């Protein structure tokens, strides 16, 4: 016996999200790694490692590794697809805009969230917001460590969310 999909569930797992979940982008290792960070969600044990290649202050490549739920995996995959070509500041602005959306605020004017818009439904599932944010808080960590002198960073979604 299989029910017809629940409407609320479809809000969370939109088609685009499922596509990224099934075929996550950005898994391949980079030739060169300039910044990296390890993120951990203490609520569920999910982990991601973000590695970035940078040319000047422009991100030229991103790799997302780790294990997470469909939401976390999709969010990381979207990031890997979006970020290359962005400057560090642009990537951070996207992370901030996405955080705003996840917390129920409108995206600051002019930010194009691309596929990330498909994750909009996550904001209705409070505990899952951290899943969607994990790759992004880890990305901001990687960029911060890179600015501060290239050290590796480790963070948790809780510490990150509390900071803001």
Q: Of the two residues 16 and 53, which places its CB atom closer to other proteins in the complex?
A: 16
Side-chain half-sphere CA neighbours of 144 within 13 A? 14
16 binds other proteins, rule: CB under 8 A: no
Structure-token match 């088609």, residue found: 15
Piece of the chain touching other proteins by CB under 8 A; list 41-49, 50-58, 96-104, 106-114: 41-49
Piece of the chain touching other proteins by CB under 8 A; list 7-15, 50-58, 90-98, 154-162: 7-15
Cβ atoms of 136 and 79 within 8 Å: the answer is: yes
- Rounded to the nearest whole angstrom, what is the least distance from the CB of residue 128 to other proteins in the complex? 7
Q: Which of 50, 71, 83, 143 binds other proteins (CB under 8 A)?
A: 71
6 binds other proteins, rule: CB under 8 A: yes
Q: Of the two residues 26 and 68, which places its CB atom closer to other proteins in the complex?
A: 68
Nearest to 62 by CA among 46, 73, 50, 71: 50
Burial annotation 5-32 (CB, 10 A radius, 16+ → b, else e): eeeeeeebbbebbeebbeebbbeeeeee
Cβ atoms of 99 and 140 within 8 Å: the answer is: no
Q: Which of residues 88-117 bind other proteins (CB under 8 A)?
A: none
Quote the tokens at residue 118: 């498909």
- Rounded to the nearest whole angstrom, what is the least distance from the CB of residue 140 to other proteins in the complex? 22
- Binding stretches for other proteins (CB under 8 A): 1-3, 5-6, 8-9, 12-13, 18, 22, 43-47, 67-71, 73, 125, 128, 131
């Amino acid at each position: 016996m299989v029910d017809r999909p629940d409407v609320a569930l479809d809000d969370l797992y939109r088609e685009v999200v499922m596509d990224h979940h099934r075929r996550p982008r950005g898994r391949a290792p980079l030739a060169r790694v300039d910044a990296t960070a390890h993120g951990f969600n203490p609520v569920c044990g999910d982990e991601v490692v973000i590695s970035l290649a940078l040319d000047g202050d422009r991100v030229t490549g991103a790799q997302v590794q780790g294990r997470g739920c469909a939401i976390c995996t999709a969010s990381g995959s979207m990031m890997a697809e979006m970020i290359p070509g962005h400057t560090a500041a642009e990537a951070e602005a996207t992370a901030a805009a996405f955080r705003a959306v996840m917390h129920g605020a409108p995206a600051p004017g002019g930010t194009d969230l691309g596929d990330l818009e498909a994750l909009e439904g996550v904001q209705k599932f409070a505990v899952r917001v951290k899943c969607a944010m994990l790759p992004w808080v880890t990305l901001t960590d990687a960029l911060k460590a890179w600015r501060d002198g290239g050290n590796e960073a480790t963070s948790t979604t809780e510490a990150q969310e509390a900071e803001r």
